[in-house]
Amino acid sequence: MGESEPRAVTPLDLPLVRRVLPQHLPLDMTAALSRGISGMEDALLSAVPLTDLGAPTVVFRKNDCGYVGQLRLPGDKTVAHLTFLAPEPGENETHEWTRLLEALTLEAGKRGAHLLKAEIDENHPVFVAFRLAGFAVYARHVILRRAPRRILNGTDAYSLRPQRDQDTIPITTLYTNTVPRLLQLAEPLSGVECNGLVYERDGQIAGYLVIIEGKSGVVIKPYFHPEVYDQAAGIILSALKFIPRAEQQPVYLYARAYQDWLRGALERVEFEPWAHQALMVKYALVRVERVETGPLPALEPNHLRPPVIDGPIPLRKQSRLAKLNGRRPLWWRNGN
């Protein structure tokens, strides 16, 4: 078997997906750590024609090797997220994975996405393929992990409450003022699929925690006002008491590069560094299937036109003295 072009998955490709999926490389860590990767089910649904179910999946065959990639595109967003690559990329496969990543970007653009992002370790061999495919590093972060254990009763715990509908504007203001602009483009704030906890100080929201719970674990994404940096450990400890699964499942917390101070603070509540990653982003390509041209209607159908004169315009030549006749000044009439 020779080399084929990367293409969308079909029912004939499902055995390949099933074979390589156990060795997949997760690229959406929030989904992988909370609810796991359901790549086979999403690929099966996307392979059914005349439907818009599942997750877009692209396959690439070369000789006896097969490469599979999948992305997730929420219906209310324009930012797509790569879910996984399978099998896990190794050395000497940069060309194949680069072609597959370019095909995934094109697939995301066809579905209306503006950006395609992925979370990857910069020391992984596939990082070179991402760079060759046009992806750029937008942010770096550390994922901290807390093993399942009993929650300690700290003396510096704080009072939190679940977010309400009227908190949308204050939370958005906190997010806009604390998150770098470049990261806001790649990771817009969303509360559709998560439950949030709010910390108030002096009647204003000074801390917001995005909580994503699933069968595999709990993921926390924190946003803090600079004035409450010294209270972050107590706020996180209070948040763990709101999560019933925190004592039975691992809890993961994102600490972005601009939040590097969180690493030391969270060691007090039994969090440890677990993974160092980079958020890679590429602008998706939106392909125009067909271009239609048509006449442009006149913007001013009744506009005025300049008058047209038949023949030349006669010019009368007069001497300067004749022009002054009847309008001579007093000194002229006196003979001076």
Can you give the pLDDT at residue 296?
A: 59
Residue 91 DSSP code: T
Can you give the pLDDT at residue 122?
A: 93
Q: Does 285 score more than 70 pLDDT?
A: no
Select the more confidently predicted residue: 302 or 123: 123
205-216 residue pLDDT tens: 999 999 998 889
Pick the CATH number of 1-140+276-288 from 3.40.630.30, 3.40.50.1470, 3.40.190.170, 3.50.50.60: 3.40.630.30
Confidence of residue 275 (pLDDT cuts 50, 70, 90): very high
Encode 110-149: b = buried (16+ Cβ within 10 Å), e = exposed.
eeebebbbbbbeeebbbbebbeebbbeebbebbbbbbeee
The DSSP H or E segment spanning 208 is strand 204-213
SS3 240: helix
Residue 174, both tokens:
């906190």
Contact 211, 196 (CB under 8 A): yes
Query: Please, how many CA atoms are within 13 Å of residue 41, restricted to the half-sphere of its CB?
Result: 3
Q: Does 315 score more than 70 pLDDT?
A: no
Can you give the pLDDT at residue 83?
A: 93
pTM to 2 decimal places: 0.79
91-117 residue pLDDT tens: 888 999 999 999 999 999 888 889 999
Q: Does 196 score more than 70 pLDDT?
A: yes
Over pLDDT 90: what percentage of the chain?
Answer: 40
Q: Does 273 score more than 70 pLDDT?
A: yes
CATH topology agreement for domains 1-140+276-288 and 148-269: yes
SS3 289: coil
Query: How far is the C-alpha of 254 from the C-alpha of 278, rounded, in Å?
Result: 12
Question: What is the residue extent of each domain of the chain?
Answer: 1-140+276-288, 148-269
SS3 4: coil
Over pLDDT 70: what percentage of the chain?
Answer: 77
Phi, psi (deg, nearest 5) at residue 101: -65, -40
Q: Does 11 score more than 80 pLDDT?
A: yes
Q: Does 269 score more than 80 pLDDT?
A: yes
Contact 260, 228 (CB under 8 A): no
19-76 residue pLDDT tens: 988 899 999 999 999 988 776 677 766 766 655 677 889 999 988 889 999 998 876 6
Helical H segments across the chain, by residue range? 14-20, 29-34, 39-47, 94-110, 126-132, 168-178, 181-186, 232-242, 262-266, 320-324, 330-333
**In the 3-class helix/strand/coil scheme, how is 157-207 assigned residue by residue?**
CCCCEECCHHHHHHHHHHHHHHCCHHHHHHCCCCCCCCEEEEEEECCEEEE
Q: Where are the beta strands (DSSP E) in 15-91?
A: 25-26, 57-62, 65-72, 79-86
Can you give the pLDDT at residue 112?
A: 86
Query: How far is the C-alpha of 242 from the C-alpha of 213, rounded, in Å?
Result: 12
Can you give the pLDDT at residue 192?
A: 45
116-171 residue pLDDT tens: 999 999 999 999 999 999 999 999 999 999 998 887 765 456 789 998 888 889 99
Kind of pairing, strands 204-213 and 218-224?
antiparallel
Q: Is the dihedral of CA 189, 195, 198, 204 positive or negative?
A: positive
Assigned CATH topology for domain 148-269 = Aminopeptidase (3.40.630)
Length of the chain: 336
Longest CA pairwise span in the chain (Å): 122
Q: How far is CA 135 from CA 124, 146, 207, in A?
A: 15, 31, 32
